Amino acid sequence: NAGVTQTPKFRILKIGQSMTLQCTQDMNHNYMYWYRQDPGMGLKLIYYSVGAGITDKGEVPNGYNVSRSTTEDFPLRLELAAPSQTSVYFCASSLWGSTGELFFGEGSRLTVL
């Protein structure tokens, strides 16, 4: 099993551009999450999903959108990129929500200039 796979690993955007961070998991987990991590800080939840077709906002959803059309995929869309969105983004999945173990991808480092 590959676990949680994120692409791209690195990306530089110009202010106002848009992009999608891809996340896929092969563990048949219902729960999926997107976090961002700023330097020296803990993770902040952007959006999460409890199953295909169901998504909800986390702590810091502004400027982002998500969709969950399949169990495996949970893409994160950045519209009109801003310097404040420069961060490392982590996708995670779990079988039992945050009650159990979260499995994380390797991260996507995004820089907005």
Partner 1 sequence: DAKTTQPTSMDCAEGRAANLPCNHSTISGNEYVYWYRQIHSQGPQYIIHGLKNNETNEMASLIITEDRKSSTLILPHATLRDTAVYYCIVRVQDSNYQLIWGAGTKLIIKP
- Chain residues binding partner 1 by CB under 8 A are 4, 35, 40-45, 48, 56, 58-59, 88, 90, 92, 97-99, 101-107
| Cβ 16 to partner 1 shortest distance, Å | 27
Q: In angstroms, rounded to a whole number, what is the distance separating the alpha carbons of residues 39 and 87?
A: 8
Closest CB to partner 1 among 17 and 95? 95
| Cβ 90 to partner 1 shortest distance, Å | 5
In the numeric block, the tokens 């159990």 are attached to: 100
What tokens does 42 get? 């803990």
What tokens does 43 get? 């993770």
Closest CB to partner 1 among 73 and 103? 103
Closest CB to partner 1 among 78 and 105? 105
Residue 59 identity (one-letter amino acid): E
| Cβ 69 to partner 1 shortest distance, Å | 22
